[in-house]
Chains A and B, each alone.
Chain A
C-alpha cells in the first residue's frame, strides 16, 4: 500500500514530469539519457522526500538536482556522445524551422556543459539570472559571464550556418 507521502510524491512528480523532461532533454539532447536523468532525480527526491517536500521553492530544488546530475555525468564521462538524429550538415528539410532547430540543437550540444546549462536555463526555460544562479550554485555574475561565453561559443559553432528566421510562433 502506498503511504501518504508516496502518494504526495507521485502526485507532485507526475505534475512536474513534462517540465523536468524538457529540462533534462534540453541539457543532454537525448531522449533516453533525459529519461535516465529524470528517473534518477525522482529516486533521489523520494529518498529525501520528508525533508524536500517541505522545502521552499521545491521546483527550483528539483531543477538543481537535474542540472547537478547532468553536470556530474559530463564530468565523470558516463555519457556517450549521441548527437542528434540529423547531423548539422543534413540540411535538406523543406521546413526552414526544422532545419534551423536541428542545427541549433547540434551547436548547443557542443557548448561546454556548464555554459550549456546556463543557456538552457536562461533562454529555453526562461529563468531569471538569480534563479539560474541558485540552480547552478554560483553567483549571478558567473551566470552572466557563462552566458556570454556560451553565446560566443554558439556564434562560433554556427558561423556560416546561415540561419533563417523560424516560422514557429512565440515560445
Chain B
C-alpha cells in the first residue's frame, strides 16, 4: 500500500457514515409484506430467484441442536467418511466439567482509546493480545497484556493483529503493508518481521517458538512453518498442485494442523503434518446429528486437541456443530451442541457465539454464557476469541453501549471459576 493509500484508509476509517436524518423503515410494513409474499405463490416464485442469489452467498447457518441445547443433548457422535477406517469413540470422559461462572472486566488500554479488542491469548491465561483504534493515521497499535499490565507496540502498516501468543509471551500475527499482508512476531518486547516470505501471515505459535501460517500468492495461500522466529519459512507439502490453504496450529512436538482445499472451490479439509516431514494426513469428517458432516474446518490446535466446526448441509440450510478431534487417539470425541466454535483450548473446550448477541464457553458440561459488565447476557454483542487451557481466562470484546448508534467495542477479559 502506498503512503497515499494508507492515508485514504485512515480517512475512510474516520468517515462517519451517519445519515443526517432519522431512519424511515417501517417494520410493521415489512412484516405485512413478508407475510403477503409467503402467501402469494406467484410472488414467492419471483422472489425465490432473488433469494437464491442470497442463499448462494450466505447459506443460513444454524447451530445444531439449537441454542438451548442442554449439556447432554445430541453430542456429535464420531464416525468417519472417506477412506479412513471407522472408529468408535468412547463416551465423553468424566473430566471435571469446567467453570460454572465468569465475570467480565475491561482490559486497560494504553492511551485510553475508546475502541479496543482482543485478538488472541496464550494457553496459560497469562497473556492476551489485542489492539486499539487511536485514529491517528498509523493503523492499530498492538497491545500485549501480561495479566493486568498492558504494553503497546506500534507496528508498521495497517490492520495490525497478533492472533496467537505462547506461554513465554511470544506473539504472532500480521500487518497489512505495501499492499500485502506480512507476517510479524513480537518477542522479548521487540516486534520483527518473520523471514522468508514476500507476503503472508502467521497464525499460531507453539510453546517452544515454532510458528505457522500461510504464504500469500495473489489470491491463494499455502501453509508454511517457521521452525523458529529467525529461520526462513518453509512451505508444507500439499496433496497436489492445485491445493491451497493455511496452517492454523502447531505444537512443540512439531505437529502442524491446517485447513486446505483442492482449488478455489474445493471442500475444506483438515490436514495434519507430523514431525519428520511427509505429506499431510487428511482427517475424515465426524458424524453429527443426522448423519456425516460434509466438512470439518479446524480453528485451533491446543494440548493435542483439534477443535473446529463441522458442517452438515440439509437442503438450503447449513447446520453447524462444534467438533473436536483428539490427536493421540485419532478420534473425534463428543462435544455438546450450543456454541459455534471460534477457538479451543487444551481440554477440547471451545468458545464462540451463542444465539445472536452472546458468546459462550462450551465444556463437557455444556454451555456457559459469558456475561456483560453488569452480569447480564443478551444485549452486548459479546465476542470471545481465546480460552486458556483451564478455561479460567477468556479473551474477547463487548459493545459497551449496546443499541446505540455508535457501537463501541472494548477489549474484555472474562475470569471464570
Contact = CB atoms under 8 A, between A and B. Distances in A.
Interface of A: 2, 6, 9-10, 12-15, 17-19, 21-23, 25-26, 31-32, 34-35, 38-39, 42-49, 51-61, 64-65, 68, 72, 100-101, 104-105, 108, 119-120, 123-124, 126, 128-129, 134-137, 139-142, 144-145, 148, 151-152, 154-155, 158, 163, 165-166, 168-171
Given A101-B15, A101-B16, A169-B135, A47 B25 contact: no
* Residue from A25, A129, A165, A170 having most chain B Cβ neighbours under 10 A: A170
B54 interface: yes
Contacts of A158: 4, 8
B26 A163 contact: no
A55 B25 contact: no
9 contacts: A9-B27, A17-B25, A34-B19, A55-B61, A57-B353, A68-B58, A129-B159, A141-B221, A170-B135
10 closest cross-chain pairs (CB), A and B: A137-B57, A170-B135, A141-B219, A26-B17, A42-B30, A64-B58, A46-B34, A123-B12, A47-B34, A151-B5
Interface of B: 1-2, 4-5, 7-9, 11-21, 23-27, 29-31, 33-35, 37-38, 47, 50-51, 53-54, 56-58, 60-63, 66-67, 113-115, 133-137, 159, 161, 179-181, 216, 218-221, 264, 317, 320, 340, 353, 356, 381, 402-405, 407
Given A56-B340, A170-B115, A43 B37 contact: yes
Given A15-B403, A19-B407, A151-B1, A39 B30 contact: yes
Nearest to A31: B19
B31 A46 contact: yes
A145 B53 CA distance: 23
Contacts of B9: 123, 151
A121 to B, nearest CB: 11
A68 B24 CA distance: 20
Given A61-B61, A155-B2, A13 B66 contact: no
A43 B28 CA distance: 10
Contact of A25 (B17, B54, B179, B181): B17
Nearest to A63: B58
A57 B61 contact: yes
A152 B5 contact: yes
Nearest to A5: B31
A72 B50 contact: yes
Nearest to A30: B19
Given A9-B31, A141-B221, 18 more contacts: A10-B31, A22-B17, A34-B19, A38-B25, A43-B30, A45-B30, A48-B60, A51-B60, A51-B62, A56-B63, A57-B340, A59-B356, A72-B50, A119-B12, A144-B216, A151-B5, A155-B8, A166-B11
Contacts of B21: 31
A44 B133 contact: no
Nearest to A119: B12
B8 A171 contact: no
A150 to B, nearest CB: 9
B19 A21 contact: yes
A38 B27 CA distance: 10
A44 B34 contact: yes
Given A123-B9, A148-B179, A170 B57 contact: no
Contact of B134 (A54, A68, A155, A170): A170
A145 B11 contact: no
B37 A65 contact: no
Nearest to B317: A51
A112 B229 CA distance: 40
Contacts of A145: 218-219
Contact of A68 (B25, B54, B62, B405): B54
A39 B133 contact: no
Nearest to B405: A18
Contacts of A58: 356
Contacts of A38: 23, 25
Contacts of B353: 56-57
* Residue from A9, A32, A142, A151 having most chain B Cβ neighbours under 10 A: A151
Nearest to A60: B58
Contacts of B26: 39
Given A42-B25, A124-B17, A144-B181, A139 B11 contact: no
Contact of A72 (B53, B356, B402): B53
A65 B179 contact: no
A43 B53 contact: no
A129 B174 CA distance: 12
